[in-house]
Amino acid sequence: MWRGGWGPFTRWMDAICSGMTVPADIDLPLLAVFDAIHRERSVTGAARRVGLSQPATSAALARLRRRLADPLFVRTPAGMVPTPRADEIAPAVREVLDTVRMRILARPITDPAASAGTLRLSIVDASALRFLPRIVAHLQRIAPRWTVETVPLQPAEVPRALETGDVDLAVGNLGALTAPGFYRQRLESTRYLVIRRADHPRLRRAPTLRDYLESRHAIARAPGAPPSVLERALAARGHVRDVVLQVPQFLLLPAVVAGTDLIATVPAHVAQAFAGPASIAASPLPFKAPELVLHQGWHARTHDDPLGRWIRATVRAALRVPD
């Protein structure tokens, strides 16, 4: 968000508008307040977002209401709910603000690798285990002043975080990121393996389909996540697992499996990372299932942005994925 005052920007806008027939009453700060309230559903939240005090934000909303002759947002138990008029103009407002941010205010990036920056990455445990070491190592080599922050978002939160810019990029199982305005690129795929404790009393060899279905399972599933390709493959065959434990992260499963008679189905890289040290045995799935495809995903907002392009190319290079 814009911080540190609007004075210089107002002057630029006036300079731009003075030579045109466009009336110089475009009030960009008001549009930023509108967009913030529309996103946050709260005047207080919007105030934090745009860096104004809460009364000032409320006053800005009052000015917007006068100018547009519409209440724009009404107070309800669910927050400040936009009126139809507010919903109607919101996409256009966002487009204007994005254009200003990306094409006017953004500093031209001549060499991102030589500058400092922070890569904010939505990535969860198993994908982080797989990709993060290589991404960080590659950044250390080519852009040593860059830092990485990972944000473990629930699948349903990822699109909004990409859209608002709270994260730059999402990496992992992005099967649900198919809405218009989002892009995905395949990074790699991985098969699933079944893990059990190495001294499992019943399963001394790789489990058969019957073993698999008769065993009790620990599974990883984020709250609100759509069924994985594995779950869909099981459902398509009419197989039902006896699930004793559901956790949100794959990385918890090896420890659970090592200490119980439960079995778990995990991406191969998770199984391989824990196979030796934790006395875990890994075997192929006893039925056919598609591989888990891992993507990097981003919002249209950054599709043509030079920095966005550089970030995605950097991730590709780190993982040796061709363009």
Partner DNA sequence: TTATTGTTGGATCCGAGGAT
Partner DNA sequence: ATCCTCGGATCCAACAATAA
- Chain residues that interact with DNA, rule: CB under 7 A: 6-7, 10-11, 14, 27, 29, 42-45, 51-56, 58-63, 73, 75, 77, 79-80
Contact 218, 244 (CB under 8 A): yes
Task: State the nearest-atom distance from the C-beta of 74 to DNA, in Å.
Answer: 8
Specify the amino acid at residue 202.
Answer: R
Task: State the nearest-atom distance from the C-beta of 29 to DNA, in Å.
Answer: 5
Task: State the nearest-atom distance from the C-beta of 84 to DNA, in Å.
Answer: 17
Quote the CA–CA distance of 63 and 37 in Å, as a whole number: 14
Cβ distance to DNA smaller for residue 29 or 306: 29
Task: Give 93-98's long-range contacts (Cβ < 8 A, gap of 24+).
Answer: 93/31, 93/34, 93/35, 93/38, 94/35, 96/28, 96/31, 97/28, 97/31, 97/32, 97/35, 98/301
CA quadruple 211, 217, 219, 223: dihedral positive or negative?
positive
Task: State the nearest-atom distance from the C-beta of 316 to DNA, in Å.
Answer: 41
Task: State the nearest-atom distance from the C-beta of 92 to DNA, in Å.
Answer: 20
Cβ distance to DNA smaller for residue 44 or 154: 44
Quote the CA–CA distance of 172 and 175 in Å, as a whole number: 9
Cβ distance to DNA smaller for residue 52 or 258: 52
The CA–CA distances, whole Å, from 62 to 58, 269, 277 equal 6, 55, 63
Contact 187, 295 (CB under 8 A): yes
C-alpha R_g of the chain: 25
Task: State the nearest-atom distance from the C-beta of 20 to DNA, in Å.
Answer: 15
Cβ distance to DNA smaller for residue 80 or 167: 80
Quote the CA–CA distance of 219 and 232 in Å, as a whole number: 14
Cβ distance to DNA smaller for residue 58 or 249: 58
If phi over 0 gives left and psi between -120 and 50 gives alpha, with beta otherwise, what is residue 320?
left
Cβ distance to DNA smaller for residue 93 or 293: 93
Specify the amino acid at residue 230.
Answer: L
Cβ distance to DNA smaller for residue 30 or 213: 30
Task: State the nearest-atom distance from the C-beta of 46 to DNA, in Å.
Answer: 8
Task: State the nearest-atom distance from the C-beta of 247 to DNA, in Å.
Answer: 28
Cβ distance to DNA smaller for residue 26 or 252: 26
Structure tokens at 243: 């699930």
192-197 and 263-267 strand pairing: antiparallel
Contact 270, 260 (CB under 8 A): no
Task: State the nearest-atom distance from the C-beta of 44 to DNA, in Å.
Answer: 3
Q: What does DSSP assign to residue 189?
A: E
Cβ distance to DNA smaller for residue 13 or 220: 13
